[in-house]
Amino acid sequence: RTIVAEIDEGNFAGYSRLYHRPAAADGRLYFDVAVDPTWRRRGLGSMLYDDAFQAAQAHKATILDADVYDN
């Protein structure tokens, strides 16, 4: 499941992605959230995260994995 925050046609501010890897155990989901630097600190990342988290709950996820990068 991918949600994209579109500012106007063809211009995106961020996205969230929730997915299950084929080799992962049932109930284990992975997610990514990214927001363009010019759109940060406006609550967009929180909205995208909350949406992905609610979708994970609806899919009965027992484990959520995410990577955090420092760059």
For the segment 29-57, what is each residue's pLDDT rounded down to a tens digit?
999 999 999 999 999 999 999 999 999 99
Task: Indicate whether this model's pTM tops 0.75.
Answer: yes
| 28-35, strands of its sheet edge to edge | 2-8, 11-19, 28-35, 63-65
For the segment 56-71, what is each residue's pLDDT rounded down to a tens digit?
999 999 999 998 887 7
3-class secondary structure, 32: strand
